[in-house]
Amino acid sequence: MLSSDDLLRLSKKEKNPNKRLRLLAVSLYLECHNRALVARQLKVARRSVNNWVSEYLAHGLSGLDDKPRLGKRSSLSLKQKQQLSRFIDKRAQSDKGGRLTGMHIKEYIQSEFGVDYHLNHIYKILGYLGYSWITSRSKHPKQQSSVQDVYKKVPPGNDP
């Protein structure tokens, strides 16, 4: 077990704010041996301090690490997400023009996989897949770069 001074030094170097608080709480506990007082000083629940101190005494520093958080499993499998990614890539590279919106993706997921997501969650899925919800300007199918070049602004001093 480390001394309270060692734990205090570790807490000052720790980048994770949650672990920093746990290190500080255990350090204060080792100084005064009063969990309620530590909880009041740090403005946290006494039960939290009890848990942190117990974990430290039982497992050492590793007891103060963040525990894995479990959440709801995704309704889409990894294979379905890969299929969705291919769909998005294919639509983005299409020469037909137009743009792919969150509503289009929502409708695709609903028709292909039978999963109904809220539109806000569609953007979270896009972020998970590495896409940005910010889209570029769509390209018109009849667009010609030679005509566009005529209208481009030329910096001053480059006149012929």
Q: Dihedral (C-alpha) 43, 47, 49, 55: value to the nearest 10 degrees?
A: -160
CA distance 17 to 52: 14
Which tens digits make up the pLDDT trace of 31-84?
Answer: 988 999 999 999 999 999 999 999 999 999 999 999 888 888 889 999 999 999
Mean per-residue pLDDT, 144-149: 76
Global pTM reads: 0.50
- Is 109 within 8 Å of 76 (Cβ atoms)? yes
Which tens digits make up the pLDDT trace of 4-27?
Answer: 899 889 989 999 999 999 999 999
- Residue 101 pLDDT grade (very low, low, confident, very high; cuts 50, 70, 90): confident
Residue 60 CA to its chain's centroid (Å) = 29
Which tens digits make up the pLDDT trace of 108-132?
Answer: 999 999 999 999 999 999 988 988 7
pLDDT at 92 over 80: no
Phi-psi region of 139 (alpha: psi -120 to 50; beta: other; left: phi over 0): beta
Give CA angle at 112 (107, 115), nearest 5°.
70
Burial profile 88-105: b = 16 or more Cβ within 10 angstroms, e = fewer: beeeeeeeeeeebebeeb
Residue in the block written with tokens 């403005």: 43
CA distance 3 to 26: 10
